[in-house]
């Protein structure tokens, strides 16, 4: 009997999870096609001369027991650190750099917070928050409304507005409130304050964090050699179970009869050979814009127009290798954070990662400092089009401008990494996305999963759950795909029992 075939487009967390789950639970043969040369999607780890870069920073924490056990089954925690294939337990430290000072993120009840903000701004923040508690915006039409309802207008203007607009390149008034619901869910100033008060009485928080909002977690798991290590390990398991993974392969055409996908055409980007596959199932993590554009016959005009006008935000990481200076010339060397949100208006950099603090094993030489400056851009804009050497000089000048370094001689090396379509945007034609969803949901053997596959700003645990749910739907013959779309919005995801890593 011929095995059924599942074509999986993309080797990120969702695609790799789908392949692994199919092999573990079914007799379906997964064939994974990845356009790039990397495993892991934006959760990949790039090795530059022995120094590893985590694109965007990936904390391995989930409120799903299933996901937590899944991760630990692939890379167990080795408390003695005798194993390279292991998870480390890391402390979460992320702060905001604003007005030349560091502020805890989320904002905490500390004397330094009040001191740096000043009494007038503190009074405005308090009164503004109380006003919005009494008179909330009844219909949240924008991300600005979402923030103001949860934090008050003054705190929104102080800490959220400028940074969010730096990330997305548009006014918060133009972004749908779903982005806030997706990324920070139940976080509010009330929960932040309660969390701060609890910490006063419970200094040893360990990692019993399941009832804590994700933005407030204090510890997380992290693969010893970066997030890509986990996905590379799973990909090796897939190959051992006779699954197939092809890198540098791009899906260029998808033939449908409007009920099922009949054929997939894939181009080998090295040899230019085009393969033709007749799949029984298709899991797509490719950007929805590209998926719709690749279909033949052409989807309905309204579906094509909406897909064409979906917007993405692109991403540039500048990896900088520095000497570990022991004087004031290198302020960043003494910073304990995993990453720092740069709120200052006079620079373009959005965040700074300190890879040494994620895992010391990401850095080849412990006497060096390995950092990543992150820029949110649009493909083709002035920043995107800069030559690498020009961009590196620009990034170094920004580090000097915010007084993180004073001496350019501390820079040993650099690399520039560009990531297109890193963030699906909640503006443009997004408010009509349900029309695309209705169209794709009606194609019986097509399952949209993952961040770009669903045009949804999912974390990697949510992306994994969409893949696991899609595989379970096939196993149980469930044709309705609502449960896939409900991942990261349904109440069941927020379980209430406590747990430890």
> Do 327 and 294 have their domain in common?
no
Cβ contacts of residue 442 below 8 Å, gap of 6+? 258, 259
pLDDT, tens only, 207-263: 444 544 454 468 999 999 999 999 999 999 999 999 999 999 999 999 999 899 999
In this prediction, residue 196 has a pLDDT band, given cuts at 50, 70 and 90, of: very low
Same domain, residue pair 435 and 475: yes
pLDDT in tens, 37-56: 999 999 999 999 999 999 98
Q: For residue 308, what are its two tokens?
A: 């064409």
Q: What is the pTM of this model?
A: 0.90
Residue 221 resides in a domain: no
CA–CA distance, 460 with 90 (Å, rounded to integer): 18
Alpha-helical (H) ranges within 266-336 are 288-293, 301-308
Using the predicted structure, report yes or no on whether residue 197 has a pLDDT greater than 90: no
Q: What is the pLDDT of residues 255-285, one digit of tens each?
A: 999 899 999 999 999 999 999 999 999 999 9
Contact (Cβ atoms closer than 8 angstroms) between residue 20 and residue 235: no
Q: Which of 425, 455, 479 is the last residue of a domain?
A: 425
Q: Single out the residue in 216, 245, 276 at which a domain terminates.
A: 216
Residue 381 within any structural domain of the chain: yes
> Are 303 and 441 in a shared domain?
yes
Q: Would the pLDDT of 184 be above 80?
A: no
Q: Do the bridges between strand 87-91 and strand 51-54 make them parallel or antiparallel, or are there none, so unpaired?
A: unpaired
DSSP conformational letter for 77: B
105 with 211, same domain? yes
The reported pLDDT for the residue numbered 333 is 79
**Which domain does 363 fall in, by range?**
311-425
pLDDT digit string, tens, across residues 398-422: 999 999 988 888 899 999 999 999 9
259 domain residue, yes or no: yes
Q: What is the pLDDT of residue 195?
A: 47
In a shared domain, residues 336 and 416:
yes
Give the integer Cα–Cα distance in Å for 283 and 281: 7
For the chain, how many structural domains are there in total?
3
Report the relative pairing of strands 368-377 and 351-354 from DSSP bridges.
Answer: antiparallel
Task: Say yes or no: 236 and 332 in one domain.
Answer: no
Per the structure block, which two tokens stand in for 95?
A: 């702060």
**Domain CATH for 358:** 3.90.660.20
Interior angle at CA 212, CA 210 and CA 214, nearest 5: 95
Q: What is the pLDDT of residue 330?
A: 65
Whether the Cβ atoms of residue 321 and residue 369 lie closer than 8 Å to each other: yes
CB-CB contact of 266 with 82 (8 Å): no
Residue 146 lies in a domain: yes
Task: Report the share of the chain in percent with pLDDT over 90.
Answer: 74
Same domain, 386 and 333: yes
Of 425, 452, 470, the domain-final residue: 425
Q: What is the mean pLDDT of the chain?
A: 89
Q: What is the pLDDT of residues 92-148, one digit of tens each?
A: 999 999 988 998 876 676 777 888 888 899 899 999 999 999 999 999 999 999 999
Q: pLDDT value at position 498?
A: 30
Which residues, at least 6 apart from 237, have a Cβ–Cβ distance to it below 8 Å? 20, 74
Instruction: Answer left, alpha or beta for residue 380, where phi above 0 means left and psi between -120 and 50 means alpha.
Output: left
The answer to whether residues 413 and 441 belong to one domain is no
Domain-located, residue 194: yes
pLDDT at 500: 39
On whether both 299 and 435 belong to a single domain, the answer is yes
For every residue of 244-266, DSSP letters joined together read EEESSEEEEEEEE-SSSEEEEEE
Q: Examine the domain organization and report whether 396 and 343 are in the same domain.
A: yes
125 within a domain of the structure (yes/no): yes
Token duo for residue 280 = 């029984």
Whether residue 390 sits in one domain with residue 330: yes
């Amino acid at each position: 009997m011929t095995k059924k075939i599942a074509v999986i487009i993309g080797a990120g967390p969702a695609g790799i999870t789908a392949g692994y789950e199919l092999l573990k639970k079914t007799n379906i043969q997964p064939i994974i096609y990845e356009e790039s040369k990397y495993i892991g999607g934006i959760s990949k780890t790039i090795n530059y001369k022995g120094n590893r870069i985590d694109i965007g920073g990936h904390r391995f924490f989930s409120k799903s027991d299933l996901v937590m056990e899944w991760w630990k089954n692939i890379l167990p925690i080795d408390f003695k650190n005798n194993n390279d294939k292991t998870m480390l337990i890391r402390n979460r430290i992320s702060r905001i750099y604003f007005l030349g000072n560091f502020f805890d993120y989320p904002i905490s009840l500390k004397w330094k917070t009040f001191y740096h903000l000043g009494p007038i701004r503190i009074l405005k923040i308090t009164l503004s928050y109380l006003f919005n508690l009494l008179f909330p915006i009844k219909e949240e039409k924008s991300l600005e409304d979402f923030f103001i309802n949860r934090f008050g207008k003054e705190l929104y203007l102080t800490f959220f507005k400028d940074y969010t607009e730096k990330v997305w390149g548009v006014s918060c008034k133009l972004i749908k409130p779903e982005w806030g619901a997706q990324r920070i869910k139940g976080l509010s100033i009330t929960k932040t304050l309660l969390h701060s008060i609890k910490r006063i009485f419970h200094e040893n928080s360990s990692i019993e964090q399941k009832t804590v909002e994700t933005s407030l977690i204090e510890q997380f798991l992290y693969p010893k050699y970066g997030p890509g290590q986990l996905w590379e390990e799973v990909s090796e398991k897939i190959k051992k179970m006779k699954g197939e993974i092809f890198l540098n392969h791009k899906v260029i055409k998808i033939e449908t009869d409007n009920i099922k996908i009949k054929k997939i055409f894939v181009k080998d980007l090295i040899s230019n050979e085009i393969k033709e596959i007749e799949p029984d199932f298709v899991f797509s993590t490719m950007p929805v814009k590209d998926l719709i554009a690749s279909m033949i016959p052409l989807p309905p005009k309204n579906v094509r127009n909406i897909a064409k006008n979906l917007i993405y935000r692109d991403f540039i990481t500048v990896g900088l290798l520095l000497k570990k200076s022991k004087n004031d010339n290198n302020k960043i060397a003494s910073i304990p954070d995993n990453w720092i949100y740069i709120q200052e208006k006079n620079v373009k950099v959005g965040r700074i990662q300190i890879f040494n603090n994620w895992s010391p094993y990401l850095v080849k030489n412990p006497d060096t400092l390995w950092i990543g400056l992150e820029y949110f851009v649009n493909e083709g804009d002035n920043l995107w089009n800069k030559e690498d050497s020009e961009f590196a000089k620009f990034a170094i000048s920004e580090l000097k401008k915010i007084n993180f370094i004073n001496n350019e001689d501390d820079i040993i090396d650099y690399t520039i990494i560009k990531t297109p379509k890193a963030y699906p945007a909640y503006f443009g034609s997004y408010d009509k996305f349900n029309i695309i969803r209705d169209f794709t949901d009606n194609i019986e053997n097509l399952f949209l999963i993952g961040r770009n596959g669903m045009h949804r700003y999912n974390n990697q645990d949510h992306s994994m759950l969409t893949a696991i749910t899609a595989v379970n739907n096939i196993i149980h013959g469930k044709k309705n795909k609502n449960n896939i779309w409900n991942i990261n919005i349904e109440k069941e995801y927020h379980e209430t029992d406590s747990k430890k890593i």
